[in-house]
Every structure is written in structure tokens, then in C-alpha cells.
Amino acid sequence: MADCTKLDAAMKGINANSQAADFGPVMDLLKDYSKSHILGSDMLKNAEATAQQMAAKGVFTKDLDAGIPGAKAYLQQNHGKPQFIDLTEGNRNEGLRLDPDTSKPLLDMMTITCSAQPGQAPRYYQVNSFVENGKQVAPSFTLPNRTEIRTDIDGKPTKIYRY
């Protein structure tokens, strides 16, 4: 579960004129919160065998034991190959897209949903990372103020988009 109070505090002072360095505190928090709980887990290690069992039974989606108290997880398969693993822990949701041919992780997507204030919509923080050799690389950050920060392979900001 992510601490929205810390994220909101890190966003204070960020505006339409903010530069890459201004986003450092919120990016650091999000990097910490977005560390995958699926990569290296039993859910991923067992995904291929589970997908084959599901296919044999004609089942495309199955709840998994997340291995984390209070968390929920599921696996989607297609033709006996795992396609997607989803894990929800409180206000943190992580999805892992798997290669349809090799079952290797391709893309890790993490979203934090922060409760809405009365009369306001919820605030969403999102981090998408490619997965290379079992590690998350080149994250992009999407912030509630409609800002996206893209990074290089090492996570250094390269481009800021405002929508």
C-alpha cells in the first residue's frame, strides 16, 4: 500500500513551469512504490504451469495466492501461455504483461489510487517500466497533474509531456 500523503506532499509546488529536477522527490517515492512484487514471486515462477492447467480446464482467468496478506491476484492465459498477472494491495495495483510466445515479462505497470477529496476525482499516480533481464528499466511516470515524465534506460528524465 502506498502513502498518498507523502506523494501529495512531494507534488506540492509542482506546476506547469516545473523542470525535471523539480519532480525528483515524487519520482523517488514512485520508484520505491513501483518496485515489482510480481517479478521473482511464486506467482510468476508458477505462471506457465498454472496457465497450462487452466487451458486444460478451459479457464482463462484464475485467482492466485498473492503471498501477501490482504492482497488479491489473478492470472490470465491464452492457449496455455500466461499473458498477464495482476496484483492489488490496498490502493496499489500492479500488472505484469508477459510475452505471448516466451512467457517472459515485458512490461510492468503500477498504479496508485489516492482517495478523492469531497467534490474531487481520485488522484492517480502511475509508473510503467519495461522489463529487461528480469529487472524494471526505463520507467515513465504519469502524475495527477496530467504530466508524464519519460526516462532513459537508467531512469533519468529525458522528456516531460503535459496534457
Identify the pLDDT of residue 120: 82
Q: How many other CB atoms are found less than 10 A from the CB of residue 114?
A: 17
- Predicted confidence pLDDT, tens digits, the chain (163 residues): 789 999 989 998 888 888 888 899 999 999 999 999 999 999 999 999 999 999 999 999 999 999 999 999 999 999 999 999 999 999 999 999 999 999 999 999 999 999 877 888 899 999 999 999 999 999 999 999 889 999 988 888 889 998 8
If you ran DSSP here, which 8-state letter would residue 39 be given?
T
Q: Is 79 left (phi over 0), alpha (psi -120 to 50) or beta?
A: left
d(CA 110, CA 146): 16
C-alpha cell of residue 149: 515524465
C-alpha cell of residue 130 = 519495461
Q: Would you kindly state where each structural domain of the chain is located, as residue ranges?
A: 19-65+72-162
Query: Vertex 123, ends 122 and 127: CA angle to 5°?
Result: 135
- Among 126, 122, 156, 155, CA closest to 142: 126
The count of C-alpha atoms lying within 13 angstroms of the C-alpha of 33, restricted to the half-sphere facing its C-beta, is: 29
pTM, two decimal places: 0.91
Q: What confidence score (pLDDT) does residue 116 get?
A: 75
Is residue 53 within a helix (H) or strand (E), and if so which, with residue range?
A: helix 47-57
Grid cell of 108 as nine digits: 510492468
